[in-house]
């Protein structure tokens, strides 16, 4: 029986080809060993702190205590979920969380875009670097430090009261952190002040990738600076804006726990009681671990639904999405 020589060579050539590809891959990994180690450390961190702890989410359906293990805790089903939905504090917690988050989204999301657009128009490189450095600095300070600064500034004898009294806007000091009506404004404005410059970095990077030829063509057509921003820059970075907006919508129930914890007190509790603080108080302070896990699980499910909804709407409107 005759054998096709070409078939024999192809069969014999497969192991050699696979060995060559394997050797090439090994050489590539060895050449990238330092980058691979850094990547593996990130994967290990994510696995240890994000995926392995997911097993313990089952305590939301159990009556867990620190004396017994997760497996020994008795099942209670959806009892903790029903208890949360029947809690008298729920309306206030939802109102504070969603209210502050929506205002932050409406004001805090477009401001970094506007800041990046105007910063990109600065012709003086020295001035541009100075503005960037000044705007980035608050981001590198923790909320523990910034909370102390804000508490001092907003005190009865703080710089804010002294300045407003000197200008004649008020006639007596105001305890801003003791008044619930001022709390939302303080949280939103301080969050924007801290993160404005840092949030603009991504948009500046996207703007840097816009082709100079598009600006040259717009100049030939007689477009001014504002027209270039509107008709060239913004459409060019629309994809980046869309992706970040989708992520911002999915995080509507996140209320910057560190910031609120350092600024809240017993006097402004009615305006500062958000979901993250509620979970902290019930889970850590009151040791109701199963109940707080149930609340956290509800929050995560809603965040996932918001992400899917925002992604779907974005995909239909401008054909840009995360997946």
Q: Is residue 138 part of a domain?
A: yes
95: left (phi over 0), alpha (psi -120 to 50) or beta: alpha
What are φ and ψ of residue 2, in 5° steps?
-85, 150
Q: Is residue 68 part of a domain?
A: no
- Each residue's pLDDT tens digit, 186-224: 999 999 999 999 999 999 999 988 888 998 898 888 888
Q: Is the pLDDT of residue 10 over 90?
A: no
Residues 46 and 151 in one domain: no
- Each residue's pLDDT tens digit, 11-27: 444 555 888 888 888 88
Residues 98 and 21 in one domain: no
Residues 206 and 259 in one domain: yes
Q: Is the pLDDT of residue 305 over 90?
A: yes
Residues 115 and 223 in one domain: yes
Looking at 32-109, list the stretches that DSSP marks H as alpha helix, in order from N- to C-terminal side.
33-46, 79-85, 90-103
Q: Is the pLDDT of residue 247 over 60?
A: yes
Identify the pLDDT of residue 124.
Answer: 87
What are φ and ψ of residue 209, in 5° steps?
-90, -5
Q: Is residue 232 part of a domain?
A: yes
DSSP state, residue 297: H
Q: With pLDDT > 70 as the criterion, what percentage of the chain qualifies?
A: 95
Residues 164 and 25 in one domain: no
Residues 214 and 276 in one domain: yes
The range of the structural domain enclosing residue 105 comes to: 82-318
Query: For all residues of the chain together, what is the average pLDDT?
Result: 88
Q: Is the pLDDT of residue 163 over 80?
A: yes
Per the CB < 8 A criterion, the answer to whether 292 and 283 are in contact is: yes
Per the CB < 8 A criterion, the answer to whether 204 and 116 are in contact is: yes
Identify the pLDDT of residue 23.
Answer: 86
| Residue ranges with strand state E in the chain | none
The total number of structural domains in the chain stands at 2
Two structure tokens written together for 241:
């804006």
Residues 238 and 100 in one domain: yes
CATH classification of the domain holding 168: 1.10.3720.10
Q: Is residue 66 part of a domain?
A: no
Q: Is residue 65 part of a domain?
A: no
Q: Is residue 61 part of a domain?
A: no
Mean pLDDT, range 79-103, rounded to an integer:
92
Identify the pLDDT of residue 8.
Answer: 44
Run of H or E including 29 = helix 5-31
How far apart CA 211 and CA 80 sit, in angstroms, is 55
Task: Give the chain's length.
Answer: 323
Q: Which residues fall within 8 angstroms of residue 104, CB to CB, at 6 or more apart?
A: 188, 191, 192
Q: Is the pLDDT of residue 2 over 70?
A: no
Q: With pLDDT > 90 as the criterion, what percentage of the chain qualifies?
A: 54
Q: Residue 62 — very low, low, confident or very high, per pLDDT cuts 50/70/90?
A: very high
Q: Is residue 74 part of a domain?
A: no
How far apart CA 254 and CA 299 sit, in angstroms, is 9
Sign of the C-alpha dihedral computed for residues 245, 146, 176 and 160 taken in this order: negative
Residues 108 and 17 in one domain: no
How far apart CA 59 and CA 63 sit, in angstroms, is 7
Identify the pLDDT of residue 67.
Answer: 82
Identify the pLDDT of residue 14.
Answer: 52
Per the CB < 8 A criterion, the answer to whether 87 and 100 are in contact is: no
Identify the pLDDT of residue 109.
Answer: 94
Per residue in 257-271, is it b (16+ CB within 10 Å) or e — as a string? eebbbbbbeeebeeb
Query: Residue 232, Cβ neighbours under 10 Å: how many?
Result: 19
Residues 166 and 246 in one domain: yes
Per the CB < 8 A criterion, the answer to whether 154 and 164 are in contact is: no
Residues 262 and 141 in one domain: yes
Q: Residue 249 — very low, low, confident or very high, per pLDDT cuts 50/70/90?
A: very high
Sign of the C-alpha dihedral computed for residues 275, 260, 95 and 98 taken in this order: negative
How far apart CA 31 and CA 307 sit, in angstroms, is 38
Per the CB < 8 A criterion, the answer to whether 253 and 101 are in contact is: yes
Q: Exposed, middle or buried, 147 (CB in 10 Å: 0-12/13-18/19+)?
A: buried
Q: Is residue 241 part of a domain?
A: yes
Q: Is the pLDDT of residue 3 over 60?
A: no
Mean pLDDT, range 168-182, rounded to an integer:
91
Per the CB < 8 A criterion, the answer to whether 236 and 54 are in contact is: no
pTM value surpassing 0.75: yes
Identify the pLDDT of residue 7.
Answer: 43
Q: Is the pLDDT of residue 45 over 90?
A: yes
Per the CB < 8 A criterion, the answer to whether 255 and 94 are in contact is: no
Residues 86 and 195 in one domain: yes
Residues 170 and 239 in one domain: yes
């Amino acid at each position: 029986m005759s054998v096709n020589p070409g078939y024999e060579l192809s069969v014999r050539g497969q192991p050699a080809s696979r060995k060559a590809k394997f050797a090439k891959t090994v050489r590539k990994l060895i050449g990238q060993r330092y980058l691979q180690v850094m990547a593996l450390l990130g994967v290990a961190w994510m696995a240890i702190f994000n995926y392995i702890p997911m097993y313990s989410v089952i305590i939301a359906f159990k009556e867990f205590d620190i004396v017994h293990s997760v497996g020994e805790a008795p099942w209670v089903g959806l009892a903790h979920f029903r208890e949360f939905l029947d809690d008298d504090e729920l309306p206030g917690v939802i109102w504070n969380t969603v209210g502050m988050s929506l205002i932050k989204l409406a004001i805090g999301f477009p401001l970094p875009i506007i800041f990046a657009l105007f910063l990109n128009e600065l012709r003086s490189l020295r001035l541009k670097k100075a503005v960037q450095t000044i705007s980035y600095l608050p981001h590198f300070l923790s909320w523990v430090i910034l909370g102390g600064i804000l508490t001092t500034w907003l005190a009865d004898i703080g710089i804010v009261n002294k300045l407003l009294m000197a200008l004649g806007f008020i006639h007596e000091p105001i305890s801003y952190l003791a008044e619930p009506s001022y709390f939302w404004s303080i949280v939103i404005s301080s969050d924007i002040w801290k993160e404005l410059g840092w949030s603009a970095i991504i948009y500046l990077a996207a703007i840097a990738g816009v082709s100079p030829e598009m600006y040259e063509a717009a100049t030939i057509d007689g477009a001014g600076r504002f027209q270039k921003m509107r008709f060239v820059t913004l459409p060019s970075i629309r994809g980046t804006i869309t992706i970040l907006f989708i992520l911002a919508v999915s995080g509507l129930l996140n209320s910057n726990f560190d910031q609120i914890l350092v600024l809240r007190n017993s006097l402004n509790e009615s305006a500062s009681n958000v979901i993250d603080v509620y979970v902290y108080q019930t889970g850590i302070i009151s040791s109701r671990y199963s109940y707080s896990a149930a609340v956290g699980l509800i929050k995560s499910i809603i965040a996932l639904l918001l992400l899917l909804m925002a992604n779907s709407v974005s995909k239909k409107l401008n054909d840009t999405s995360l997946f």
